[in-house]
Amino acid sequence: MNENHYDVIIIGSGPAGYTAAIYCGRANLKTIVFEGMQRGGQLMITTEVENFPGFPEGIDGPQLMEQFRKQAEKFGAKLVTKDVEKAQLLNGRPFKIELGGQEYTSNSVIIATGATARFLNIPSEEKYKGKGVSACATCDGFFFRDKEVAIVGGGDSAMEEALFLTKFASKVNVFHRRDFFRASKIMVERAQNNPKIEFHLFKLIEEIYGDESTGVVSGVKLKDVRDNSIVDFPLQGVFVAIGHDPNTKLFEGQLDLDEKKYIKTIEGKTRTKIEGVFAAGDVQDDYYRQAITAAGSGAMAAIEAERFLESIN
Ligand code: NAP
């Protein structure tokens, strides 16, 4: 058999992808993981993970992912740190995956490509990306030592990032568009109790502006959504933490996607509409979006793939 033919091709390398690889490896399936150029998924840009069972003292996101990776490798999965360019699933088995001028084939595919941070999509945001606008406090917080910054959002990410930024920034403003938080109560309380954090409710950023001479952010026009009034709010950094979009571009037109473009799977399973193709983790989960649930669905996908492969042999 062609050396580029595998029992299972796994696309993506967050908790779902690596867990699927661990299970597939242990099931003696010839497995390859296309990890993507930025391997490890969203936990690579997370600080401390406090709620992953087995780590009562918490663990750094990148450290946790390194452990997942090692375990996947230990059981024989081949790991390739590259982006998949094309996935040919519609014509059935063998499925074809292309990258770097090479073709890989398999009898089953597990999609675990995760999700990517969303931006506000206002023109001035694009202009100042990397010059004061960021979607990753963990990556860029360090550059805002003794500066005043804002976090946009009312979810766990916004709370977590606001708390993280207090290590560097002189003040952290949370701009949220209503007075109800999606974030867990404990995270909101922690942020509210931090003297460096101030909440501004019913607020949206209308425009981001900068200093003409330095080209970096110097403030925002902040809108109150109750009466549409706008005020100038001087600050040096804007961190956007308003959720994520699933990474499903490769599969558009091949798999069924829901209205938010998440891959649709059979209820309670990871099976997609194409026999032999499974989806696990954030790419098919708009609801839980946790490392532990992603890992769980990675295990489910591997078990389903194993049973599927048995059924066709
Ligand atoms: P999220 O829970 O979907 O929250 C997104 C927030 O952004 C919401 O407050 C939303 O406001 C706001 N928002 C969305 N679009 C906006 C826009 N265009 N302008 C202004 N605000 C906007 O996303 P997340 O915080 O990234 O969390 C995702 C998942 O990861 C959740 O399940 C969360 O529990 C989990 N997570 C957990 C931890 C942890 O446990 N330590 C840490 C991070 C994330 P509305 O509420 O008004 O819609």
Q: What average pLDDT does range 6-33 have in this prediction?
A: 98
Residue to mutate (ligand 1; options 182, 200, 283; most atoms within 8 A of CB): 182
Q: Are 270 and 276 in contact (CB under 8 A)?
A: no
Q: What average pLDDT does range 41-59 have in this prediction?
A: 88
What are the helix (H) ranges across the chain? 15-26, 61-74, 123-127, 137-140, 156-165, 185-192, 291-312
The per-residue pLDDT for 66 is 97
Annotated active-site residue 24? The verdict is no
Q: Per-residue confidence at 1, pLDDT binned at 50, 70, 90?
A: low
Q: How far is the CA of 153 from the centre of ligand 1 (A)?
A: 6
As a whole number of angstroms, the distance between CA 19 and CA 173 comes to 37
- Average pLDDT, rounded, for the chain: 96
Whether the predicted pLDDT of 297 surpasses 80: yes
Residues 106-139: pLDDT tens digits?
A: 999 999 999 998 999 999 999 998 899 999 898 7
Least confident of 9-18, 39-48, 277-286: 39-48
Q: Per-residue confidence at 46, pLDDT binned at 50, 70, 90?
A: confident
**Atom 18 (ligand 1): residue with closest C-alpha?**
120
Q: Are 8 and 280 in contact (CB under 8 A)?
A: no
Annotated active-site residue 139? The verdict is yes
CA neighbor of 113 nearest in space, from 295, 303, 284, 283: 283
Q: Are 222 and 231 in contact (CB under 8 A)?
A: yes
- CB of 48 closer than 6 A to ligand 1? no
**Tokens 């769980």, residue located:** 296
Residue to mutate (ligand 1; options 242, 245, 287, 293; most atoms within 8 A of CB): 242
The per-residue pLDDT for 50 is 85
Active-site option among 60, 83, 136, 224: 136
Residues 155-178: pLDDT tens digits?
A: 999 999 999 999 999 999 999 999
Of the two residues 135 and 16, the one the predictor is more confident about is: 16
Q: What average pLDDT does range 286-311 have in this prediction?
A: 96
What are 132's two structure tokens? Answer: 């004061």
Annotated active-site residue 156? The verdict is no
